[in-house]
Amino acid sequence: MNILLTGGLGNLGSRLLIPLVRRGDRVVIFDLQDKPFIPSDEFNQCKLIRGDLTDREAVIEAVKKEQIDSIFHLGAILSAQAENERDKAWTINMEGIRNTLEAARLGEVKRFIFSSTLATYGGGLPSPLDIDSPMWPVSLYGVTKVAGELLGVYYHNRFGLDFRAIRFPSVVAPRGMVGGAGRFTSEVFLEAIKTGSYEFYLRPDSSIPIVYIADAIKSFLLIHDAPEQNLTRRSYNIHARGVTPAELETVVKARMPHVKITYNPEPVQTAMVDSWPHSLDDRHAREDWGWQETYDLDRMADEVIETLKKELNSTDE
């Protein structure tokens, strides 16, 4: 199968290409960058097209020339950068999804997977959060993702495109998100190893829903491969668990007792996190295409710490 990854060199894409290549798919990457966020031998087996998502003709040409069967649309300006560069975020996120959907239509692409977010719902949310709760995002990033989902559903209804979206909570990774109120879920591990300390900008009991990066990648494969007749909707939530800074402190100190953890709640970011739900309604993903997390908090912590230590040691050598 010929698979196109837009934004394929980023945090998600550079990890997703690995299992795709390993299972025999031919992966084409469409990205402005030329180096993957996560280097791998599998990346060297992919075809890289350096291009801009706002260039519709370039996207259409890539889809047609490479005879693409499926698209994972991952290219976007993320939350913190989107607030600082609103014009750029609007152009890339909105024109990017429109151009890629149009390329999928013209290229008769069989399946289109869209990376969406919990930020589509906004703030002041109940917990657990019902999947059909109203979506009133408070960030520009969330606004563009709501629009992307709705446009994808339009292309499904109007043109028959098999559009599927996943709304992710905070994704924890050895090198995770930069900026944004949820960055602490990944940042605490890196700073604990690098500096031996971390100051949370939240209260110990502030809570956020998370999923580990390996499970996030697994969810992409599951939703992509699910038979269309199994789907009861076009957009799905996934979720592993809620976590607090206090819980992260516990798992970090259990593995690195010397680490100093402090708290200095920042009012704006604390209020933002407090407005998020502790858990999400993801029963449809579990029932329709077999979503199930495989990493609990301890296994996640072990893998993140081991990975970061290996990376930092190899950098020092």
- List the one residue out of 2, 315, 34 whose CA is nearest residue 175: 315
Q: Considering the candidates 121, 141, 155, 236, report the single residue annotated as catalytic.
A: 141
Residue 141 appears among annotated catalytic residues: yes
Instruction: Return the half-sphere exposure (C-beta side, CA atoms, 13 A cut-off) of residue 129.
Output: 29
User: What is the identity of the amino acid at 64?
Assistant: K
φ and ψ of 242, to 5 deg: -95, 150
d(CA 124, CA 275): 4
Task: Label residue 123 exposed, middle or buried (CB < 10 Å: 0-12, 13-18, 19+).
Answer: middle
Distance of alpha carbon 255 from alpha carbon 308, whole angstroms: 13
Question: Looking at the DSSP assignment, which residues form a beta bridge with residue 168?
Answer: 117
297: how many CB neighbours lie within 10 A of its CB? Answer: 17
Q: What 8-state DSSP symbol labels residue 91? A: I
What do you get for the CA distance between the two ends of the chain, in Å? Answer: 40
Looking only at the bridges linking them, the beta strands covering 111-117 and 70-73 are parallel
**3-state SS record for 53-80:** CCCHHHHHHHHHHCCCCEEEECCCCCHH
- Alpha carbon separation from 127 to 50, 75, 130, 265, 307 (Å, rounded): 42, 30, 8, 22, 32
Long-range contacts of 218-223 (CB under 8 A, 24+ apart): 218/294, 219/166, 219/285, 219/291, 220/12, 220/16, 220/72, 220/113, 220/115, 220/166, 221/19, 221/20, 222/289, 222/290, 222/291, 223/113, 223/164, 223/166, 223/285, 223/289, 223/291
Catalytic machinery residues? 141
